[in-house]
Structure 1
Amino acid sequence: MKDLVAAAVAAAKERGQDVADVPLTAIAATAGISRSTLLRRLGGSRAPLDEAVRRSGVDPGGRPPVRERAIAAAAELVDERGLGGVTLDAVADRAECSLPSLHAVFEGRDGLLTAVFLEHGPLPDLEALVANPPERLEDTVRALHHSFVAALDHRPRIIPAVFGDLFSRPDGPAARLVAGYAPRLYDGLGRLLSPHMEAGRLRPLPLPVLVQLLFGPLLNHMLLRPVLESAFGAGLPSSEESIDLFVEAYLRAVALPPEGDPGSGV
């Protein structure tokens, strides 16, 4: 197999391609054998050759970059084991990459978990909402609740794992994640809620309090929902009905009616 690995690497270098992208015909020609002979020696598939190239220390390519593979692998491990169960060794094994490559790309475990949170957390949807905000307060609150529930239900389930780690280890990786991204989260939420406060539609409460009132009850409900479904079955409102109830409750708590209007100010 060593001669085939050398031929594959040489052919890739000559063609300026990854090994995985070099046709077997070209590798066979470099090795001085026919394509059929090459396939026979490989057992009918090029997979053993690519694996042998990888074992020799050369990335055969033809796959997503290390960053993409590592984020996907880490997200799966977070879903399966929680944040505390994710090690760089486990990620490297599942992503089929080396530990040095993980350190080079992410600068350590916290950097990798941060990348996972950024991809699978609520920030992308929140920033998309900030870019095109609803006009009405009620629509804004509803959109935020939908986004939050989607982030909680999204597989792999990263956000529940983050909260689980926060509750169990206040100084753990989740705390560092939240501390790092809290400014961006609150900036986005402030951009959505502050205009309604300035227009007199929202009570002038500190932003952290408005945000905790916005997501706290819904978070409690969604994290406990699997248990509640077992206990109450069909008697439990659907997720959509629950969102409607929590939107109404939030507006009753913090919305102000327009001047001269005793009704809702949404």
Structure 2
Amino acid sequence: MDIIASGLAFAEAPRWHDGAFWFSDMHDDRVFKILASGSAELVCKVDGRPSGLGWLPGGDMLIVSMTDRQLLRRGHDGAMSVHADLSDMIGKRANDMVVDRCGRAYVGNFGFHTDEDEPVAPTILVRVDPDGTVHQAADQMVFPNGTVITPNGKVLIIAETYAARLTAFDIDEDGGLSNRRIWAQFTDGSVPDGIALDEEGAVWVASPTNARCVRVREGGEILQTIDTGQQAFACALGGDDRKTLYIAIADSADREDCRAGRNGKVITTRVEIAGAGLP
């Protein structure tokens, strides 16, 4: 394992895009990118806690602002604007996201406050179209979290963290989701948070509960396990050949603990099967 970023509060939403590695430091309210040279650049500050990242076809960046329940848009000139307001659709914090090649964003949310001892409650998955209009994409989702889309753009796979499963949908021509099914149910103690898809159709899953990143095939068979030493919250496949697995780790997800300890890291390892699809 190599450490490419350390001293972070809490890394989230790792992405490989345009020859660089991008991520949100969710509990430090900032988005960063790391260039091929290894140097880190501050992209922007997001007071509402940044989470999911994605890009529109024209190159503008989308950023989930969690506590504001907004989808922000960052232009080529760095100007920030509100792409969509999600507050009428979701009552708790917005979360991770995937953006398809048409510019449609599928945004998850908590459904309940994890740090206030609220009972687990289902919520909806939201779809934001390129014009900023907001739609319900699916209901009865148990903490919809990390999400991927297959290379042909026809299947969406999403982590339902508190149900310990990956759920798949077919993507219709208009962006609607149908044919809901369980893609993998975890019985080994793993809880899926952030995920990444590879060329063989397997999914890498970051699991904070057992501090590991596992590679799983449809049906639930675990193909590979990487122990991460700290809780693993998100992962991505990147690098020029998409064979570098980036894993975001930390000792805790608690905001105050993370800001005080700053023990969050992004670690990497090489894998045999390249990444595929989105993000």
TM interval, shorter chain, is under 0.3
Normalised to the residue count of structure 1, the TM-score between the two structures is 0.24
Larger radius of gyration: 1
Normalised to the residue count of structure 2, the TM-score between the two structures is 0.23
Higher relative contact order (CA closer than 8 Å, sequence separation 6+): 2
